[in-house]
Amino acid sequence: MKLADILPLSHIEQVGDSYADLIKENASKLEVNDQKLKLKGTKLHFFNEIEENITSKITDLSDIWMPGTAGYEHPVPLLLYPHHTQTILSSVEKYASNVTYSPSFITQAKSRLSNTLTFVEWALLNEHYKLNSISAKDIERFCSDISAGGIAGLLYLPQRLDHLWDTIYNQPSQINELVNSDGYGGVVTGFRELAIKKVLGTSCTASMIPNRYYRLFGDALVDYGISVDEKFFTRGTGDLRQPSAKTLNTLFCEWNDLSRMEHDDNLSFLPFKDPYKKSSQLGRPRSRTKNLNVEHVVSLLGEAHLWVFEASPLIIKAVREQAKLRYKRPTRNKNERYSREHITGKLSKGHLSSSKTLNKLEKALGENSSAVKGTHVFRRIYALIYYYQYEHSELLALTHQLGHVDPEHTFVYVTDPEARVVHEKLQHQLKTTKSDEVSSATLLREENKALNKIIQEVGIEKSAQDILSLLMGSEKMAGRYPSYLKRVFKVLRNSVKFNEKMMDEYQKNFSDLNLKDQSEVVANVLHEKGHRNKPKPHASCHRDPETKESHKDPCDPIHCRGCAYQEVKQTHLDIMKIDLIDLHNIETDRRNSPLERIRAAERARNLEKVIDQHKREMERTADIFSHMRES
C-alpha cells in the first residue's frame, strides 16, 4: 500500500470544488431502478413505507471520499470513479430488489452501501483501478488481513492514522480542523467524522479509530491550550481484533455479489467460495447464547397474556395516534389535543432515558435480572417453544411467511398439482453446469448445503455430549439406547480396520483415546449410520428419519418403551411425573365423564409402570461403562 499525501482540510475541500462540474456530470450518468431508491443529483434517497407512512433517508455521494489512484496522489471524491460508484449502487439495488419494505430496510440498505464501499476502498488502496484486475492471490492476502485486524486492519487504518499524525502533530490549526467542540466554551468532544474521512480518503467511521489516537490528539490540544472533554480520552476502540465468523459470513456473501454485476466493473471470479466455511476458518468462533432457566420461562409465559392481549394493543394504539400527530400542524397556541401528554401522559426525562429504563427493568426482575441480559435469550426460548410446541413446524413457518390464516391452506397451496410444473423448472435451474460458477442458483444450492451442515454439526455435538456424560458416569440415563451404545463401543474397540483408521488420525487405538475424543468419534460413527439426535417431550429419538418405521410425532412413553433408539434422562422422567399427576387429577375429577376418567386411570397405571421401569434402568446403567474406564 502506498500512503497518500496528507493535505489540510481546506485544500481537500478546494479539490472537491475544482472537480464540482465533473462530479455532477458523472452523477448524471448513474442509475438505480428500484422504487425504494432514487438518485437526485449526487444524493441517494432511501424510501421506506410502513402502514402508509413513507420515511426516507439521504446519503450524499459527493461526501464520500476514497484513496487516490490512477494519477491521483491524494484522496478524491468517490464520484471521480464513476465505474466504482455504479458498482456500489448496483450492489445496493440488488439488495433492495430482493426485499420488501420493513422497519429495518433503510438501515440494512445503508449497511450494504457501507460494506461495498469497504471492498472498493481496499481495491483502490492496492492500486486496483478496476475490480476485474483483482487476482486470487490478492484475495488470499485480503483474507489474511481481515482475519488479523478486521475492517480497520484490512484498510490499513492504523498506518494511515500514523501517517496523518506524523504530518500534522506540530500544526495546531490542522489538528483543530479535525475535531468537534460543543459550542459552549469550545470544549473538544470528538472527531469531525466527515473531516477525518476526507483527509484520509476512507469510509471508516470515527468509532473504528483506536483509542490511542484520541489520546494523541487530546494531549496535543491540551498542550496548545484548548479545552478537551474528559470523555474524549476514553473514546475509540482497543487494539485490532479478529472479527466474528458471523460478521465475516455476512460480508463474504455480500462481496460475492460483486462477481455478478452485469457491467464492466466487476470481479472476474467468485472471491469467497463456500463463505460459511471460510468465515468459520478466519473469524472468531460463534458463541452460544446462554439459556434461560425453566423458572424464568414459566414466569414469562405466565405473564405473556397480559402483554399480548392487554398491554400490546394499548401500546400499538398510542404509537399510531402519536404517528398521526406528526402530519398535523398545530396552531401557535398549542392545543392540548396535539400534545404528547394527552396520549401517553407526562413522562419525566428520567423515564425517557434508556439507562433509567434498564434500571427499572432490572428492579422489576429482582434477583433474576442477571439471567435475562439482552434480547437473545428471549429469541432462543421463543425458538424452542415454537419448534417443539407445534407439529409440522416447517409448514407453520411457511404459513406465517405467506400470511395464510390456516396451515391447511398452505398445505393445499404447496401440494397443488399445478405447482409441480414450477417445482420442476426450479429443479432444472438448480442443475447448473460446473462452469456456471457464479450463478445465483449454484450459490443458493451451496448455501442450503452449508445450512444443513450446521444443523447436522449441532446434532453430532449434542450426541457427543450425551455419550461423554455416560462414559464419565455424570448422568443417569434410561431407555435401550445406552445399551446400544455399549455394544457399539465393543464393536469399535475390537475392529482392526477401525483401529487402523484411529492410528492414522490420532496415532492411538480407539481404547487409548481420552473420553472426550471417544465420545466425538462414536457420535460421528452413529451420524454416518443415519442416527439423528431428535429431542422430544418425553425422550430423545435417534432413529434414522428416513426409515419407514420412524414417526415425527412426540415420543409417547408407552409407545416408545423398549425402542432401541429411545434415550430417557432425568428431565424426561420429570415430565412423565408431571403427566402422571395430570392423569390422576382427571381420574379424580367428578366433573369429567366416566369414560374419560376410566381412560385416564388406565393411562396412569401404564405410565406408572414405565416410570418405575426407567428408574430401575437408570440405576442399572449408572455404571454401564465403568468396566471400560477401568480396562
Q: Is the pLDDT of residue 188 over 60?
A: yes
> Is 59 inside any structural domain?
no
Confidence at 307, pLDDT banded by 50, 70, 90: low
Q: Is the pLDDT of residue 11 over 50?
A: yes
What was the pLDDT predicted at 172? 84
Q: Is the pLDDT of residue 610 over 80?
A: yes
Pairing status of strand 37-40 against strand 43-50: antiparallel
pTM: 0.55
Give the Å distances, CA to CA, from 411 to 168, 190, 545: 68, 57, 21
Over residues 547-571, mean pLDDT: 74
Over residues 10-20, mean pLDDT: 86
- Sequence-distant (≥ 6) Cβ neighbours of residue 614 within 8 angstroms: 478, 479, 568, 573, 576
Q: Give the end of a domain, one of 173, 207, 234.
A: 234
What is the tens place of the pLDDT at every residue in 39-50? Answer: 999 999 999 988
What was the pLDDT predicted at 558? 80
- Residue located via cell numbers 488479523: 148
What was the pLDDT predicted at 349? 43
> Is 207 inside any structural domain?
yes
Q: What is the percent of the chain where pLDDT is above 90?
A: 15
What was the pLDDT predicted at 137? 92
At residue 509, φ and ψ (nearest 5 deg) are -75, 165
User: Cell triple for residue 365?
Assistant: 426482575
| Spatial contact of 32 and 93, defined as CB atoms under 8 Å apart | yes
Q: Is the pLDDT of residue 629 over 70?
A: no
> Is 367 inside any structural domain?
no
List the beta strands (DSSP E) in 454-542: 534-536, 539-541
What is the tens place of the pLDDT at every residue in 460-485? Answer: 777 888 888 877 777 788 888 888 88
Q: Is the pLDDT of residue 265 over 60?
A: yes
> Is 341 inside any structural domain?
no
Q: Is the pLDDT of residue 542 over 90?
A: no
Residue 152 parent element (H or E): helix 136-154
b/e per residue, 107-139, with b = 16+ CB within 10 A? Answer: eebeebbbbbbbbbbbbbbbebebbeebeeeeb
Pairing status of strand 188-191 against strand 534-536: unpaired
What was the pLDDT predicted at 40? 92
Name the average pLDDT for the chain. 77
> Is 503 inside any structural domain?
yes
Residue 205 structural domain = 157-234
| Spatial contact of 468 and 515, defined as CB atoms under 8 Å apart | yes
Over residues 333-351, mean pLDDT: 48
Confidence at 362, pLDDT banded by 50, 70, 90: low
Q: Give the end of a domain, one of 234, 264, 299.
A: 234
- The CA distance from 624 to 607, in Å, is 25
> Is 200 inside any structural domain?
yes
What is the tens place of the pLDDT at every residue in 83-122? Answer: 999 999 999 999 998 888 888 899 999 999 999 999 999 9
What was the pLDDT predicted at 325? 64
Q: Give the end of a domain, one of 204, 234, 264.
A: 234
* Counted domains in the chain: 2
| Spatial contact of 371 and 292, defined as CB atoms under 8 Å apart | yes
User: What number of residues does the chain have?
Assistant: 631
